[in-house]
Amino acid sequence: MSSERDYYEVLGVARSADDAEVKRAFRRLARELHPDVSEAPDADERFKELVEAYEVLSSSERRQLYDRFGHAGLRSRGFTPSFVDFGSLGDLFAAFFGDDLFGVGARARQARGADIAAEVEIDLTDAAKGAEREVPFQVAVTCSTCAGDGAKPGTTPVTCESCGGSGRLQAVSRTVFGEFVRTQTCPRCRGAGRVVAEPCPSCEGAGQVLEQRMLEVEIPPGIHDGQRIRISGEGHAGQLGGQSGDVYVLVRVRPDPRFVREGNDVFSTVDLTMTQAALGARVSVPTLEGDAELEFEPGTQPGEVRILRGRGMPVLQGFGRGDHRILVNVALPRRLTDEQRKLLEEFERMANEETYRPDEGFFEKLKSAFR
Ligand SMILES: [Zn+2]
Ligand SMILES: [Zn+2]
């Protein structure tokens, strides 16, 4: 018995700690104190102590014995720390080296496929309605000729001689208190455990081929420029049966020269001629759902705003819609014929204060237009 320090103290856990906490504490400390990592002069000693504490507290039988009778209890039952006994530590180290504790990945056998970025451009009016688009993209898929194992049909991959099929190589390092095994991904088979003697002609042994595909993308109404739609599992195939990646479709909403979008509201302008504004008119204006006829009363002023409530953009993944605000612009004549000038001069002679007097509530109306 090398150590008489309290095992709970060594692991830094409470006496009531459960198995998971003990394991967690051990992993954390092992990462810190392992002699290959730690520069401390007493690293060997401390690591040895740690392993011993873990060996006791991770076994319910030993732990009970220790809780009741302490170090003496363990000794009386013939417990000796097994850090020099390589075999019995095997599982322990596999467990934590397998967890990539020291950055030597033994889990590289399966890997999730990479994500793919795709892009689609739609009009603002389509963004208002929602749209379906076919988006072309290239994706790595499992090779159908070899079903992904990379071997020429009729042949099978053979067990990798370097690692004996485990996909991992063990390197033994010696320390003062024994030998340690480090596990590394086998470089020859890259963790697969098997190597291809005759590569598949379709994929040249890669197990995957690139395929051109079309993706049906549902674009929800109200989408904004620059938003992405994620389509799970349609990305590149994973390695060795790993999950496929995702496709992220970037949606670009083409600006529409007729509308300015601000959040869920849209703005546009309508041009009335001087006489349309003065006499009143029915005018066709573009909206997100196509042209709409709008009635303008006699005496419509430039700067008036017509609000089409609920005719803006839909709220993405919500209810309701924004508004469509239409700003009235009045066009004045730039060139007049002699006859037109005469008529306007005559009009001017007949005009008085009443001709231009604002309606009651005009400013109220204007204010409400801007909310
Ligand atoms: Zn193939
Ligand atoms: Zn191998």
Q: From the CA of 159, how far away is ligand 2's center (Å)?
A: 8
Is-contact 27 37, C-beta < 8 A?
no
Ligand nearest to the CA of 140: 1
Q: Calculate the average pLDDT of the chain.
A: 82
Ligand nearest to the CA of 193: 2
Q: Count other C-beta atoms under 10 Å from residue 160's C-beta.
A: 20
Q: What are phi and psi of 315, to 5 degrees?
A: -75, 125
Q: From the CA of 152, how far away is ligand 1's center (Å)?
A: 7
End-to-end CA separation in angstroms for the chain: 83
Q: From the CA of 144, how far away is ligand 1's center (Å)?
A: 6
Tell me the mean pLDDT in the region 332-341. 96
Tell me the mean pLDDT in the region 155-169. 84
- Strand partners for 123: 254
Ligand nearest to the CA of 148: 1
What is the Cα–Cα distance from 304 to 310, expressed in whole angstroms? 19
Q: pTM of the full predicted structure?
A: 0.54
Ligand nearest to the CA of 166: 2
Question: Which residues, 6+ apart, have CB-to-CB distance to 45 below 8 Å?
Answer: none
Q: So what's the pLDDT on residue 332?
A: 95
Q: From the CA of 85, how far away is ligand 2's center (Å)?
A: 27
Tell me the mean pLDDT in the region 170-193. 73
The amino acid occupying position 29 is L
Q: From the CA of 245, how far away is ligand 1's center (Å)?
A: 20
Checking if the pLDDT of 254 tops 90, the result is yes
Q: From the CA of 35, how far away is ligand 2's center (Å)?
A: 28
What is the Cα–Cα distance from 148 to 31, expressed in whole angstroms? 36
Lowest mean pLDDT among 152-161, 268-277, 304-313: 152-161
- H/E run at residue 347: helix 338-350
Q: From the CA of 160, how far away is ligand 1's center (Å)?
A: 19
Residue with token string 């014995």:
65
Q: From the CA of 142, how far away is ligand 1's center (Å)?
A: 8
Checking if the pLDDT of 109 tops 60, the result is no
How far is C-alpha 341 from the chain's CA centre?
Answer: 67
Q: From the CA of 158, how far away is ligand 2's center (Å)?
A: 10
Q: What share of the chain is helix, strand, coil (3-state, %, to 5)?
A: 30, 30, 45
Tell me the mean pLDDT in the region 202-215. 86
Q: How far is CA 269 from CA 55, 127, 222, 227, 260, in A?
A: 79, 20, 22, 27, 10
The amino acid occupying position 67 is D
* DSSP-assigned states of every residue in 194-235: EE-SSB-TTTTTSSEEEEEEEEEEEEPTTPPTT-EEEETT-S
Q: So what's the pLDDT on residue 369?
A: 61
Q: So what's the pLDDT on residue 167?
A: 82
Q: From the CA of 150, how far away is ligand 2's center (Å)?
A: 15
Ligand nearest to the CA of 150: 1
What is the Cα–Cα distance from 70 to 243, expressed in whole angstroms? 49
Ligand nearest to the CA of 163: 2
CA angle 39, 47, 69 (to 5 degrees): 150
Q: So what's the pLDDT on residue 341?
A: 97
Q: From the CA of 143, how far away is ligand 2's center (Å)?
A: 22
Classify each residue of 109-135 as buried b or exposed e, where b means 16 or more C-beta atoms within 10 Å of its C-beta.
beeebeebebebebebbbbbeebebeb
Q: So what's the pLDDT on residue 367?
A: 66
Q: From the CA of 37, how far away is ligand 2's center (Å)?
A: 27
In percent, how much of the chain has pLDDT > 90?
37
Checking if the pLDDT of 141 tops 80, the result is yes
Ligand nearest to the CA of 192: 2
Lowest mean pLDDT among 154-158, 225-229, 301-305: 154-158
CA angle 13, 85, 30 (to 5 degrees): 30
Ligand nearest to the CA of 152: 1
The two three-digit tokens of residue 188, written as one number: 């020859």
- Strand partners for 294: 283
Q: From the CA of 148, how far away is ligand 2's center (Å)?
A: 17
